[in-house]
């Protein structure tokens, strides 16, 4: 799951007020995951401890094991939730809208970059997931899931490009697969740079970039 699959609207602050719904056995799994998001984001997978997560979730350490067989499984569950909860939905929704392909591409760009504000706080999870896919015991599982996530993402963008080509909006020699991979990658990487540099404005940068990029795509010279 690339970070940009994860607009994360409403992610933050969601865990507060859990007190009121104490003993809602159904939500305990979610409760644990939510706590894990906080802790893993802050400490990273290795440095996070089950104790810490339990405390954050307001439950006993042993209880976590009622829902997840191991720390790694819990981490993977966080990962799945991350993807599943937010995934490429935003992008897909925008793709389904009307308007020119270019406009929708730019809408995607805007939506993703605007999500940075909320994403920021848990963005480090992406790095943890990358790291997990690189070297943990669960390497393959994570890698496969990432692969799938990127694929989904590229597929949506590629469709849109293809549509633009079909409509004659984009040049016919454009390769939708390559373009979507690059575009998805750019979005991804801009958020990464934003993470490193506080005063980096991903929306501004991305908007300027998109102007150039869509001009390169356009079948007819843009003004």
Q: Which chain residues interact with a second copy by CB under 8 A?
A: 2, 41-47, 123-124, 127-128, 130-131, 133-136, 143, 146-147, 150-151, 171, 174-175, 177-179, 181-182, 184-186, 188-190, 192-193, 195-197, 200, 204-206, 208-209, 211-217, 221
Q: Binder to DNA among 9, 30, 44, 61 (CB under 7 A)?
A: 61
**Cα 204 to chain center, whole Å?**
20
List the single partner that 28 binds among DNA, a second copy, none, CB under 5 to 8 Å by kind.
Answer: DNA
Residue 170, classed as helix, strand or coil, is strand
36 vs 126 by CB, closer to DNA:
36
For residues 189 and 173, give the distance between their C-alpha atoms in angstroms, rounded to a whole number. Answer: 26
Which stretch, 61-69, 96-104, 109-117, 176-184, contacts DNA (CB under 7 A)?
Answer: 61-69
Helix crossing, 28-47 with 50-57: angle to 10°? Answer: 150
For residues 214 and 50, give the distance between their C-alpha atoms in angstroms, rounded to a whole number. Answer: 47
Other Cβ atoms within 10 Å of 66 Cβ, number = 12
Residue 47 interacting with DNA (CB under 7 A): yes
9 vs 67 by CB, closer to DNA:
67
95 vs 192 by CB, closer to a second copy:
192
**Cα 208 to chain center, whole Å?**
22
- Asked if 64 and 50 touch (Cβ cutoff 8 Å), the reply is yes
Min CB(31)–DNA separation in Å? 9
Other Cβ atoms within 10 Å of 115 Cβ, number = 22
- Asked if 109 and 210 touch (Cβ cutoff 8 Å), the reply is yes
Other Cβ atoms within 10 Å of 77 Cβ, number = 17
List the single partner that 160 binds among a second copy, DNA, none, CB under 5 to 8 Å by kind.
Answer: none
Q: Binder to DNA among 13, 16, 20, 23 (CB under 7 A)?
A: 23
Q: Nearest 5 degrees, angle CA 113-CA 79-CA 205?
A: 15
Min CB(70)–a second copy separation in Å? 15
List the single partner that 118 binds among DNA, a second copy, none, CB under 5 to 8 Å by kind.
Answer: none
Min CB(66)–a second copy separation in Å? 12
Residues interacting with DNA, by CB under 7 A? 22-25, 28, 47-51, 54, 59-63, 65-67, 69-72
């Amino acid at each position: 799951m690339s970070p940009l699959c994860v607009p994360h609207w409403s992610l933050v602050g969601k865990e507060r007020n859990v007190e009121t719904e104490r003993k809602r056995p159904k939500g305990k799994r979610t409760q644990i995951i939510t706590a894990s998001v906080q802790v893993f984001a802050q400490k990273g997978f290795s440095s996070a401890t089950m104790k810490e997560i339990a405390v954050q979730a307001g439950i006993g350490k042993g209880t976590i094991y009622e829902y997840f067989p191991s720390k790694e499984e819990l981490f993977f569950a966080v990962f799945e939730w991350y993807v599943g909860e937010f995934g490429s939905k935003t992008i897909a929704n925008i793709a389904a809208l009307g308007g020119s392909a270019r406009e929708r591409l730019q809408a995607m760009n805007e939506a993703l970059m605007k999500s940075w504000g909320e994403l920021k706080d848990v963005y480090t999870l992406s790095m943890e997931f990358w790291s997990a896919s690189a070297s943990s015991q669960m390497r393959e599982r994570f890698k496969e899931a990432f692969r799938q996530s990127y694929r989904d993402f590229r597929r949506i963008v590629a469709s849109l490009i293809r549509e633009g080509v079909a409509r004659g909006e984009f040049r016919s020699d454009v390769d939708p697969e390559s373009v979507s991979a690059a575009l998805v990658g750019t979005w991804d990487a801009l958020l990464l740079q934003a993470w490193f540099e506080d005063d980096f404005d991903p929306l501004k940068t991305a908007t300027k970039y998109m102007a150039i990029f869509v001009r390169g795509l356009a079948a007819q010279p843009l003004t």
